[in-house]
Structure 1
Amino acid sequence: MLLAGVAVYRAWPLLFPEVVMSATLDPRCNLRAGACSSRLGEGREVRFGIEPRDIPLIRPLTLRVEARGFDVQGVEVDFSGVDMNMGFNRPRLTRQGDGAYTGTATLPVCVRDVMQWEARVLLRTGAGLVSVPYQFLTAGPGAQLPAG
């Protein structure tokens, strides 16, 4: 029991990092149409994109984050199901220079034909963690996304 308590205590900051700034979700963002930008005021901006744009399941996805106006020390993207727990999926991206970070991720197949996801871009800065959410849909094999 004590060992389990210590494990939870040590894992807590990884699973639930303290956020010092959080952007609001932009409902106009469509990652299938291209990268989306979120402005956080005072010249700060985060741009996030996923390739291929059809966002297939169980195939490697290329992630790109560009951050402007932040002292970024690291970037991760936390993928989670909006209304279904899909497990821990938080790849760490690699610095490419000039505020850009890239990496790869793979989304698992869900029992639902259409799944709504949230990709939360997490910027580790000198001031703390900055969180910027983006949402998108995926379709399982043979399923169609809703029109619109």
Structure 2
Amino acid sequence: MNDQNARPLWALAAGLGLAVVVVVLIKAGPLLHPPLGERAPLNPDCDLLHEACRVRFADGGEVRLAIEPRGIPAVRPLQLEVRLMHLPTPEQVEIDFQGVDMNMGFNRARLQPVSVGAGADSGAAASASADADADANIEHWHGQGMLPVCVRARMTWEAQVLLHYPGGSRAAPFRFVSQRPN
């Protein structure tokens, strides 16, 4: 086969390859960015760098997020803790970290449920804590995440807690500003 006969075949192969890539991206879109049924309003009084914060959905359900270590440094493991109050049990809980003013890529941590009564407490204290959580309809989830390095000395982030349910997802947004050490 000569070069002139091979060109149409190469063009056809390239077109088919491009079509496969487009189909994969279209099919993967909902997995990376699930449709949201509801987004809670941002709590402007929250300072996630110094304390755990809460946001409330219209139906009264609350999401509390705590991140350790305080100050939320980049490129260090972060301990993530989410407590859900007066919300149905989700199939999955994730935290999606997004740069507000700069795209920092896909950065999502999947959390694991904490068994009632599990944790560092022991004996009567753990039992009392588990009873209090059960009475208040509180679920506890935890995991690890990490912020990537940023070229900016100061970066505004949104940590969006994603609650995945069979009928759709709910999002609880939390904003904070990270500072690069000098």
Deviations, residues 3-48 of structure 1 (Å, cap 9, x unaligned): 1112112210122210011111111110122111112143411111
**Equivalent residue in structure 2 for 1:6, among 23, 28, 40:** 23
Q: State which drifts further: 121-130 or 76-85.
A: 121-130
Matched, 1:66 2:66: no
Structure 1 moving runs of 4+ over 2 Å: none
Alpha-carbon distance in 2 for matches of 1:44, 1:87: 30
Q: Give the alignment of 1:129-148 within 5 angstroms.
A: 129-142=169-182
Structure 2: segments with no counterpart, 5+ residues: 1-17, 117-138
Q: Give the alignment of 1:112-131 within 5 angstroms.
A: 112-131=152-171
Structure 1: segments with no counterpart, 5+ residues: 143-148
Q: Give the alignment of 1:1-148 within 5 angstroms.
A: 1-68=18-85, 69-98=87-116, 99-142=139-182
Deviations, residues 82-104 of structure 1 (Å, cap 9, x unaligned): 00010100010011135111011
Counterpart of 1:145 in structure 2 is none
SS in 2 for 1:72: coil
User: What TM-score do you get using the length of structure 1 for normalisation?
Assistant: 0.91
Give the superposed CA RMSD: 1.2
CA shift at 1:80, angstroms? 0.6
CA shift at 1:112, angstroms? 0.5
CA shift at 1:54, angstroms? 1.2
Alpha-carbon distance in 2 for matches of 1:71, 1:65: 13
Alpha-carbon distance in 2 for matches of 1:42, 1:9: 33
Question: Of Structure 1 and Structure 2, which has the larger fraction of its residues in strand?
Answer: 1
Alpha-carbon distance in 2 for matches of 1:110, 1:42: 37
Question: Of Structure 1 and Structure 2, which has the larger fraction of its residues in helix?
Answer: 2
Q: How many positions carry a matched residue from both structures?
A: 142
